């Protein structure tokens, strides 16, 4: 009889061999789409404030029924998840919304997005129309945030460049581009508007700037008094100011709209390409993307500080009307993403 030990070793051998064979074979297999979701419900990967997401879900489902499985996560995990799933063979989400254009451009280049033009696109302002497979839903502005209690009048920054003030050494914070997708977009954008060189970030590194996990940590840490100033999207500050007012406590948070013009980062939405997706789910996914540029959804997002892409909605409360926005060439930055990431890392080695 075959002994236990031999049987065990044989099983180990077979499994190891099969795993290796699987690994080799899958390299040569043609990609065949598999749909792992449920018919009649779509999975949406989504990043953003929980209360906003909840309002959007309720508004959409009021008309379409209980059809959304929302998976909330930060923009960094969203980017990581979508990319890992694409590399593993199939993006599990039908729709994903959040983060920044860089990851969507990379996914589009890999053919992982479905080309789709949502209903009502004519209501969107020209600067937000793209020829890519994704749709731009909102815009946010990268501002300098500061703690008005910690900084004296003369120290209050008025530009990105003011953060290089040695008086702020050790008290500046920004999100870590290796943990936050939007932070990578911020680094790329600021690198771009500073003449595509690293002088600005080299200066910040010399000023011992701190890297937080997420963009939303930046205003939190400044409000809490751990840091004096930082760089982050404006919308989180507006929400924190609103929350403090509602709950009855003072907040020292203030925004400086930088003199150089605030960097604009758009939040895209996209449908993943999957030929095996049932027709009913395809329709829900398309309806959801169209809903996101509707007046109703856009109004909800502006309540949470984001700027709308629609022509017929006024500027979000808290954003000055006379801003000179700095928009960057995301396609160029996407094609240099690895160089930018490595360049940033190299500043600290």
Eight-state DSSP code of residue 274: -
CA distance 59 to 236: 22
Eight-state DSSP code of residue 160: S
CB 121 within 8 Å of CB 291: no
- Provide the minimum distance between the beta carbon of 16 and another protein in the complex, in angstroms, as a whole number: 5
Q: Which is nearer to another protein, 12 or 315 (CB)?
A: 12
Q: Which is nearer to another protein, 11 or 115 (CB)?
A: 11
- Provide the minimum distance between the beta carbon of 108 and another protein in the complex, in angstroms, as a whole number: 16
Q: Which is nearer to another protein, 1 or 321 (CB)?
A: 1
Cα 206 to Cα 160, 163, 166, 201: the distances in Å are 15, 11, 9, 8
Query: 54 to 113, contacts with another protein by CB under 8 A?
Result: 69, 71-72, 74, 76, 79-81, 83-85, 87-89, 92
Q: Which is nearer to another protein, 20 or 115 (CB)?
A: 20
| DSSP state string for 38-102 | -TT-EEEEE-S-HHHHHHHHHHHHHHH-S-EEEEE--HHHHHHHHHHHHHHT----SEEE-S-HH
Q: Which is nearer to another protein, 62 or 246 (CB)?
A: 246
Q: Which is nearer to another protein, 100 or 293 (CB)?
A: 100
Query: 220 to 279, contacts with another protein by CB under 8 A?
Result: 220, 223-227, 236, 239-240, 243-244, 247-249
Cα 74 to Cα 78, 216, 305: the distances in Å are 6, 10, 17
Half-sphere exposure for 249 (CA within 13 Å, toward CB): 8
Work out whether 176 is an interface residue with another protein (CB under 8 A): yes
* Beta strand spans in 89-228 (E): 95-97, 135-147, 172-175, 210-212
- Provide the minimum distance between the beta carbon of 206 and another protein in the complex, in angstroms, as a whole number: 13
Cβ atoms < 10 Å from Cβ of 316: 21
CA distance 325 to 142: 10
CA distance 120 to 169: 48
Q: Which is nearer to another protein, 196 or 243 (CB)?
A: 243
Among candidate residues 154, 132, 155, 159, the one with its CA nearest the CA of residue 144: 159
- Provide the minimum distance between the beta carbon of 95 and another protein in the complex, in angstroms, as a whole number: 13
* Burial per residue of 189-217, b for 16 or more beta-carbon CB atoms within 10 angstroms, e otherwise: bbbbbbeeebebbebbeebebbbbebbbb
- Provide the minimum distance between the beta carbon of 346 and another protein in the complex, in angstroms, as a whole number: 9
Q: In sequence order, which residues have a C-beta less than 8 Å from that of residue 311 and are 6 or more positions away?
A: 123, 124, 125
Query: 197 to 226, contacts with another protein by CB under 8 A?
Result: 208, 210-214, 216-217, 219-220, 223-226
Considering only 30, 31, 32, 36, the residue that binds another protein (CB under 8 A) is: 36
Q: Which is nearer to another protein, 54 or 117 (CB)?
A: 54
- Provide the minimum distance between the beta carbon of 131 and another protein in the complex, in angstroms, as a whole number: 25
- Provide the minimum distance between the beta carbon of 226 and another protein in the complex, in angstroms, as a whole number: 5
- Provide the minimum distance between the beta carbon of 224 and another protein in the complex, in angstroms, as a whole number: 3
Among candidate residues 141, 130, 35, 149, the one with its CA nearest the CA of residue 92: 35
- Provide the minimum distance between the beta carbon of 78 and another protein in the complex, in angstroms, as a whole number: 11
List contacts with another protein (CB under 8 A): 3-5, 7-8, 11-12, 15-16, 19-20, 22-24, 26-27, 36, 43, 49-51, 69, 71-72, 74, 76, 79-81, 83-85, 87-89, 92, 171, 176, 178-179, 208, 210-214, 216-217, 219-220, 223-227, 236, 239-240, 243-244, 247-249, 341, 345, 348-349
């Amino acid at each position: 009889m075959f002994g236990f030990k031999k049987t065990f070793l044989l099983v180990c051998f077979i499994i190891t061999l099969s795993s290796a064979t699987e690994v080799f074979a899958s390299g040569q297999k043609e990609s065949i789409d598999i749909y792992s979701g449920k018919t009649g419900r779509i999975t949406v990967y989504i990043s953003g404030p929980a209360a906003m997401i909840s309002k959007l879900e309720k508004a959409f489902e009021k008309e379409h029924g209980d059809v959304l499985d929302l998976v909330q996560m930060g923009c960094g995990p969203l980017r990581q998840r979508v990319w890992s799933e694409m590399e593993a063979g199939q993006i599990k989400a039908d729709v994903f919304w959040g983060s920044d254009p860089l990851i969507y451009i990379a996914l589009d280049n890999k053919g992982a997005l479905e080309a789709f033009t949502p209903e009502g696109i004519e209501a969107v302002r020209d600067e937000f129309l793209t020829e890519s497979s994704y749709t731009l839903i909102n815009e946010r502005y990268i501002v300098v945030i500061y703690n008005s209690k910690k900084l004296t009048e003369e120290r209050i920054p008025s530009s990105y460049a003011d953060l290089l003030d040695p008086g702020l050494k050790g008290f500046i914070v920004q999100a870590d581009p290796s943990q936050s997708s939007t932070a990578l977009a911020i680094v790329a954008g600021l690198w771009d508007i500073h003449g595509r060189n690293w002088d600005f970030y080299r200066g910040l590194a010399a000023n011992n700037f701190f890297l937080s996990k997420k963009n939303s940590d930046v205003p939190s840490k400044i409000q809490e008094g751990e840091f004096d100033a930082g760089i982050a999207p404006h919308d989180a500050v507006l929400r924190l100011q609103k929350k403090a007012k509602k709950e009855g406590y003072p907040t020292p948070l203030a925004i400086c709209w930088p003199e150089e013009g605030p960097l604009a980062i758009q939040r895209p939405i996209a449908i993943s390409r999957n030929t095996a997706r049932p027709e009913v789910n395809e329709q829900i996914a398309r309806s959801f993307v169209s809903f996101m540029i509707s007046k109703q959804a856009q109004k909800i997002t502006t309540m949470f500080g984001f700027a709308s892409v629609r022509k017929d909605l006024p500027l979000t409360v808290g954003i000055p009307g006379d801003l000179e926005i700095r928009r960057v060439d995301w396609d160029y930055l996407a094609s240099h993403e690895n160089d930018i990431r490595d360049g940033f890392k190299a500043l600290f080695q």
